Every structure is written in structure tokens, then in C-alpha cells.
């Protein structure tokens, strides 16, 4: 069998996996820390525009025309989702934000971001939002620190996810669903008990949302973040693990660091079909997020 020569674009500092995926650069590539590499593509492997697949490194797919991948951020109006929007924009992705109230969102996101009106509790509003989208980054949820009854939690934190998955399946273009949730859904703790009282049984509904994602047939990453703080990202070490960390202030992380992990997970083969936790480790950052994601195991239900 003959092999085709192909030009690959790989992120500076990451391993090339040109043997697995052929990529076409967008005009943004030089500005986003990408460099050109020669590689081989076997005829049996992924071609331009094919879905993101599990492979060993960190790469981004682009359409044959060189257009950047369009990512829908659900929850991108504030908090971690908004930080992810900025990162995606810096890295040259096309970004669409779902907003319940689009007024004023532009002021935070900038003119190049597409805003689509929608509400995850209203399934019909998600259909236009997912049109043409290649990946979904989902950080939406009932606001932290505010009391919410179980009905509202169920509608937003569980049905919001299932509605989005349905819309994504119908659209047919979505290749990766990256879901941000919380640690503490399994291991009991005082903080988890308190959280479940304030946001009624939220951890139960979050676990059900995770389960729905795992059986959805979509390529996904479930990212369980520790206790969120507002602090600059990139300074402290980040610990990525696949256990059942309890919820508590001991396991904290900056929203900015979580946003970095979510964006990296969007196109990283190691994060495909994987559930993992992300919290701060000890000391300064010594290891890249992409390297840590490379060591993840896929979930046993889909492996």
C-alpha cells in the first residue's frame, strides 16, 4: 500500500502524530504558536475533515478549506466558560457562545465571537446553536453559592446536558463534547453534604449527566474540577488524576487553569472518552497539560 505525503501542523512543544491525522492550517496558525511539520498519512487513517479520533498527542483538526474549528461554549458568558472563550479565540478557533441574555455579552467576549440566544432548559433553543459546530465545551450550571431547589438543578444541570447532547447528535457535525463538572460526586465529604443541601442534590444530577454523556455515543471528555478560585492561571502545578477525590477546599484550582485544561482536552487524543479530575498540585508548574492528558486511560465503559 502506498502512503501519501502530507503537511502536518502541530502545536509547538507537542508530539507530532501526523501518522494518525492530517491537518490543514488556518491563516491564524503562525500567530497561535504552531509550526509546520512534514508527515506521513497512511491511506487507512484519518483524512482532513474526519472526526477527531483517539490518538496519542495534541492536535487540532481543520476543515479542508483551512477554516478553524467552530466551538460552541455553553456557559461562556462568565466564569470558567468565559476564560475558555478567550483562550479559544487566542488559539484561532471559531467561537460561538450560547447566552440566555445576549445583551451585554459582547462587551466581555469581543466582536469576533458569535453569540446565539439559548437556554439549556429549552431544548428547541439549542438546535440553531449547534449548527455547524465541531466541538462543544460545556461549563453551564446553576450558579455556585446560591440556593436552588431540586427541580431547577435537574432541569439545568442534568436535562441541560441531555438536551445539548440530543441537539449535537441531530446536528451531526459535533465530534467532541467536553463537559466541566465537579469533584466529590463519589467520595462523601462535609463539603459535598453542604453543597447538596444548598444546591439540592446537585452532585447526584451531575453524576447522571456524566452517565448520559458516557452512553451518548459521542466522543467526550468529562473534566471534574476542584473547588474553583479566581486567580491567574499557569503558575501553580496542576494535578490530573482518575480517582474519586472528595470535595473540599483542600482540592482547589483556579478557573483559569481549568479553562486551559478544557481547551486542551478539546483536541487531545488522550482526553478522548476519558473522565478525570483537575486540581492544583504542590509547587510551581513543571509539566504541560498536554503531557498529563497523554497519560489518561479511557473510561472502561467505552474502552
Ligand X SMILES: NC(=O)c1ccc[n+]([C@@H]2O[C@H](COP(=O)([O-])OP(=O)(O)OC[C@H]3O[C@@H](n4cnc5c(N)ncnc54)[C@H](OP(=O)(O)O)[C@@H]3O)[C@@H](O)[C@H]2O)c1
Name the residues that contact ligand X, by CB under 6 A: 75, 77-81, 98, 100-101, 119-121, 139-141, 143-144, 156, 160, 180-182, 225, 227-228, 255
In the complex, the smallest distance separating the C-beta of residue 100 from ligand X, rounded to whole angstroms, is: 4
Which CB atom, from 39 or from 76, has the smaller least distance to ligand X? 76
Q: What distance, in Å, lies between the first and last C-alpha atoms of the chain? A: 29
In the complex, the smallest distance separating the C-beta of residue 287 from ligand X, rounded to whole angstroms, is: 22
In the complex, the smallest distance separating the C-beta of residue 198 from ligand X, rounded to whole angstroms, is: 11
Q: What is the DSSP string of 194-234?
A: HHHHHBTTHHHHHHHHHHHHHTSSS-EEEEEE-EEE---SS
In the complex, the smallest distance separating the C-beta of residue 227 from ligand X, rounded to whole angstroms, is: 5
Helix then strand then coil, % of the chain, to nearest 5: 30, 25, 45
The three cell numbers locating residue 250: 483542600
Which CB atom, from 143 or from 169, has the smaller least distance to ligand X? 143
Q: Look up residue 245 and give its DSSP letter.
A: P
The closest of 154, 146, 275 to 205, measured between CA atoms, is: 154
The three cell numbers locating residue 134: 465541531
Which CB atom, from 21 or from 258, has the smaller least distance to ligand X? 258
In the complex, the smallest distance separating the C-beta of residue 182 from ligand X, rounded to whole angstroms, is: 4
Which CB atom, from 23 or from 203, has the smaller least distance to ligand X? 203
Which CB atom, from 119 or from 175, has the smaller least distance to ligand X? 119
Q: What pairs with residue 9 in β-bridges?
A: 36
In the complex, the smallest distance separating the C-beta of residue 140 from ligand X, rounded to whole angstroms, is: 3
Integer angstrom CA distances of residue 26 from 6, 194, 282: 15, 47, 37
Which CB atom, from 17 or from 139, has the smaller least distance to ligand X? 139
Amino acid at each position: 500500500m502506498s502512503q501519501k505525503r502530507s503537511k502536518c501542523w502541530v502545536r509547538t512543544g507537542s508530539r507530532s502524530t501526523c501518522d494518525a491525522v492530517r491537518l490543514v492550517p488556518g491563516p491564524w496558525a503562525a500567530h497561535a504558536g504552531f509550526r509546520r511539520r512534514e508527515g506521513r498519512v497512511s491511506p487507512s487513517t484519518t483524512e482532513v475533515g474526519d472526526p477527531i479520533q483517539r490518538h496519542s498527542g495534541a492536535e487540532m483538526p481543520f476543515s479542508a478549506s483551512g477554516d478553524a474549528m467552530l466551538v460552541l461554549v455553553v456557559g461562556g458568558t462568565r466564569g470558567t466558560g468565559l476564560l475558555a472563550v478567550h483562550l479559544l479565540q487566542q488559539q484561532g478557533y471559531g467561537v460561538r457562545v450560547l447566552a440566555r441574555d445576549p445583551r451585554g455579552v459582547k462587551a466581555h467576549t469581543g466582536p469576533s465571537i458569535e453569540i446565539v440566544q439559548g437556554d439549556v432548559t429549552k431544548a428547541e433553543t439549542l438546535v440553531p446553536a449547534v449548527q455547524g459546530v465541531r466541538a462543544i465545551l460545556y461549563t453551564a450550571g446553576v450558579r455556585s453559592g446560591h440556593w436552588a431547589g431540586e427541580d431547577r438543578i435537574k432541569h439545568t444541570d442534568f436535562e441541560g446536558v441531555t438536551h445539548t447532547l440530543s441537539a449535537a447528535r441531530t446536528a451531526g457535525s459535533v465530534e467532541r463534547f467536553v463537559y466541566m463538572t465537579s469533584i466529590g460526586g463519589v467520595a462523601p465529604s462535609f463539603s459535598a453534604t453542604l453543597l447538596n443541601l444548598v444546591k439540592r442534590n446537585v452532585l447526584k444530577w451531575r453524576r447522571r449527566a456524566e452517565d448520559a454523556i458516557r452512553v451518548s455515543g459521542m466522543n467526550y471528555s468529562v473534566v471534574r474540577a476542584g473547588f474553583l478560585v479566581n486567580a491567574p492561571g499557569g503558575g501553580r502545578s496542576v494535578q490530573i488524576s482518575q480517582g474519586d477525590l472528595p470535595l473540599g477546599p483542600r482540592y482547589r484550582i483556579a478557573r483559569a487553569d481549568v479553562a486551559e485544561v478544557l481547551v486542551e482536552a478539546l483536541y487531545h487524543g488522550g482526553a478522548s472518552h476519558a473522565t478525570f479530575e483537575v486540581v492544583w498540585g504542590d509547587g510551581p508548574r513543571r509539566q504541560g497539560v498536554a503531557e498529563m492528558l497523554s497519560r489518561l486511560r479511557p473510561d472502561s465503559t467505552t474502552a
